[in-house]
């Protein structure tokens, strides 16, 4: 199966979570309520700094993951574009593979997956880079659910500049 990645726009991402801007040219403070509203209920955050190599083309995804108990936030630190692959759940909780969606996020966009949203792991485009990841603090053992795809998902990513 192959899907086409589209530019990440906040309106398109509403069913899966929220998109925030990392950089503000005016230098004004921006509250990150769009992460806190995802349902932390006073739990501390688990914060991680990650560096990763770029994902080679063709881009293939073998599994999806979700965190049923917590939202998960990704904030670019030093990267170009990155891929966001998501899908809703079926009534039985498995991913609805017929509704997979792929988006290309720009370097100044932060992405927050809502609780329970199926998504692919982080895939960096164009060059290696680094990012911060945060989620409401639940043990990974209790909060991480993996789903192996019946066949690898290929994602066609536009080659335009970030």
CATH number at 54 reads: 2.60.120.480
Instruction: Answer yes or no: is pLDDT of 139 > 90.
Output: no
Q: What are phi and psi of 143, to 5 degrees?
A: -110, -15
Residue 53 lies in a domain: yes
Residue 58 lies in a domain: yes
Residue 161 lies in a domain: no
Q: How far apart are CA 60 and CA 46, in angstroms?
A: 28
Residue 162 lies in a domain: no
Mean pLDDT in residue range 94-108:
95
**Domain tally for the chain?**
1
Query: 123 lies in which domain range?
Result: 2-156
Residue 87 lies in a domain: yes
Residue 44 lies in a domain: yes
Percent of the chain with pLDDT over 70: 77
Residue 125 lies in a domain: yes
Residue 86: closest CA among 22, 18, 29, 160: 18
Mean pLDDT in residue range 127-144:
77
Q: Of 59 and 139, which is predicted with more confidence?
A: 59
Residue 74 lies in a domain: yes
Q: Of 35 and 130, which is predicted with more confidence?
A: 130
Instruction: Answer yes or no: is pLDDT of 141 > 60.
Output: yes
Going by pLDDT thresholds of 50, 70 and 90, the confidence category of residue 145 is very high
Q: Of 36 and 45, which is predicted with more confidence?
A: 45
Residues 6+ apart with CB under 8 A from 67: 113, 115, 116, 135, 138, 143, 144, 145
What is the chain's mean pLDDT, rounded? 82
């Amino acid at each position: 199966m192959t899907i086409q990645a589209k530019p990440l726009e906040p309106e398109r991402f509403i069913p899966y979570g929220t998109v925030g801007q990392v950089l503000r040219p005016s230098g004004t403070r921006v509250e990150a309520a769009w992460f806190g509203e995802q349902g932390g209920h006073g739990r501390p955050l688990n914060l991680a700094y990650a560096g990763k190599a770029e994902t080679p083309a063709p881009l293939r995804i073998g599994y999806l993951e979700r965190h049923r108990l917590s939202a998960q936030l990704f904030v670019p630190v030093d990267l170009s574009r990155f891929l966001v692959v998501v899908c809703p759940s079926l009534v039985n909780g498995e991913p609805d593979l017929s509704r997979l969606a792929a988006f290309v996020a720009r370097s100044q966009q932060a992405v927050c997956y809502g609780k329970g949203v199926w998504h692919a792991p982080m895939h960096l485009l164009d060059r290696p880079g680094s990012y911060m990841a945060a989620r409401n603090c639940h043990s990974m053992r209790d909060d991480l659910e993996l789903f192996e795809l019946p066949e690898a998902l290929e994602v066609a990513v536009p080659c335009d500049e970030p």
